[in-house]
A and B are shown apart, each in its own frame.
Chain A
Amino acid sequence: MTSIKDIERTMDFHGEALDNIFETYRLMRENCPVGRSEKYGGFWFLSKSDDIFKVEQDAETYSVKPTMLVPPVADFPMIPIDTDLPELMDYRRILLPLFTPQALAKMEKPVRDISQDLARKFVESGSTDATAGFARALPTIFFSRLAGFPEKDWPKFDAWVDDILYERTVDPERARKAQDAVIAYFDDLIEKYRGRTIDEADTGTIMDFLLEARIKGEPLSRKELLSYCYLMFLGGLDTTAWAIRASLWHLAQDLDAQRKLRENPELIPMAAEEFLRTLSPVQAMGRTCKKDTVIRGQEIKAGDRVVLLFGAGNRDPEIYDEPEKIKIDREDNRHLAFGAGHHRCLGSNLGRRELVIGLEEFLKVVPEFTLGDPSEKWYGVGRLTLNFKS
């Protein structure tokens, strides 16, 4: 039998470790809320919501350098997430205006049109893979247009995302090659924007905002631009796809919830929050301790890595009634799916709307579905096979 100590020592939140992660989180919360894993060079991990929240608010003690990702997804600091205050806010301010509630209101219709179109095509095509047909397709189309990534390039994106985010713990060399390919792609795209040799070049896209940006009067350097583009590419495509897929994965098994949401679509925003709380695409992010400190009695030394297990905090019984239960009508749902503090996910408002509108249109158009292949997991952006009553 595996001991608690072994589970703590081998704590991981990637790949197969996610199969039973919610049970692992429970054991860690109950037995070692400040644990120590030997993975990825060694790190402390926090599984209690309050501890995670405190670290996120404490920029004096914790830095995101060299990177927030454990293990890294790039061999350079990613802008803005791998920068600390005050530079962080200079970088964030460039794109914040794109994701305000006012800005989001203008995106409602295009997101809805794309969702409806995809859902219809999914039904008409007779396909059963809701990931390719819907969950990944929606952010690929909407976010890429918003970002200004030309349509002819979209077919390359999924494989790059898979290699960088999902293969890095399996085959780092492959992840590395994909990183280089994405950087080369953006190097070329920036050139095309500068030369105005593509149609997307003057439409108020993320690419335009980044190229036009000035920080203290200076434009972003080539290195900064590439880094920001790289982060937008990963953040805008993968996380939203996971959130939509995981929500459909759950609804395929909870037919009561599926029927209730079809009959009462006004409940979908509340349900979406619950899916984000329990099946969040970002299970964990890292920090580096800048000075010796103590969390829950555990000494943490300057230079130590500290991982915030958002997925564990989001199921903390001190915060939620029946935390392991996915209740689509949970009213008080203050969760950490998008983080908190000054590193709050920059695109959270957009991600939320894509998830909500995507689910609304999918349930409107696609008939009742169940899970077609029970071996498919709750996490990631792999295939999601749906069964329909014939």
Chain B
Amino acid sequence: MKVLLDSHRCQGHARCAAFAPETFVFDDDGFSRVREGMEDVKPENQAGVRKACANCPELAISIVED
């Protein structure tokens, strides 16, 4: 499973931080991106990443299943 974040859509709601803090990281203005090396989502982080995707108000997160 891969996770992608569309930085043009992200507006800094930070919902992804609530569900998958290990996967997402924030810049100094609060915009999110996928942490380096975390694009391939490990099994133990998948549930959190799915929740982050479902709860993102901007539909900025997408998941590509293997």
Contacts and interface: CB of A to CB of B under 8 A. Distances in A.
A368 to B, nearest CB: 28
Contacts of A269: 18
Given A96-B29, A99-B30, A100-B28, A344 B55 contact: no
Interface in A331-390: 331-336, 338, 340-342, 344, 348-349
A166 B51 CA distance: 37
Contact of B30 (A97, A332, A334, A340): A97
Q: How large is the interface on B (under 10, 10 to 19, 20 to 34, 35 or more residues)?
A: 10 to 19
B29 A93 contact: yes
B14 A332 contact: no
Contacts of B12: 96, 99-100, 344, 349
Chain A contact residues: helix, strand, loop or mixed: helix
Nearest to B28: A97
B13 A338 contact: yes
Nearest to B17: A101
Given A96-B29, A334-B54, A101 B11 contact: no
Interface string B21-64: 00000111110000000000000000000010011111100000
Nearest to B50: A332
Contacts of B30: 96-97, 99-101, 103, 349
A102 interface: yes
A349 B14 contact: yes
Given A344-B12, A348-B13, A349-B14, A332 B29 contact: no
Contact of A344 (B11, B26, B29, B59): B11
A99 B11 CA distance: 12
A331 B48 CA distance: 11
Contacts of B28: 97, 100
A359 to B, nearest CB: 15
Given A93-B29, A349-B30, A101 B14 contact: yes
- Most B CB contacts (10 A, CB to CB) among A335, A342, A349 go to A349
Contacts of B17: 101
A246 B23 CA distance: 33
A332 B56 CA distance: 10
A342 B29 CA distance: 13
A348 B13 CA distance: 7
Contact of A332 (B13, B27, B55): B55
A348 B11 CA distance: 11
Given A97-B30, A102-B26, A336-B57, A344 B51 contact: no
A334 B55 contact: yes
A100 B29 contact: yes
- Most B CB contacts (10 A, CB to CB) among A93, A99, A100 go to A100
Contacts of A93: 29
A340 B12 CA distance: 10
Given A101-B14, A269-B18, A341 B58 contact: yes
6 contacts: A93-B29, A101-B26, A101-B30, A269-B18, A336-B57, A338-B13
Given A273-B55, A331-B54, 11 more contacts: A93-B29, A99-B30, A100-B12, A100-B28, A100-B29, A332-B55, A334-B55, A334-B57, A335-B57, A340-B57, A349-B30
Interface of A: 93, 96-97, 99-103, 269, 273, 331-336, 338, 340-342, 344, 348-349
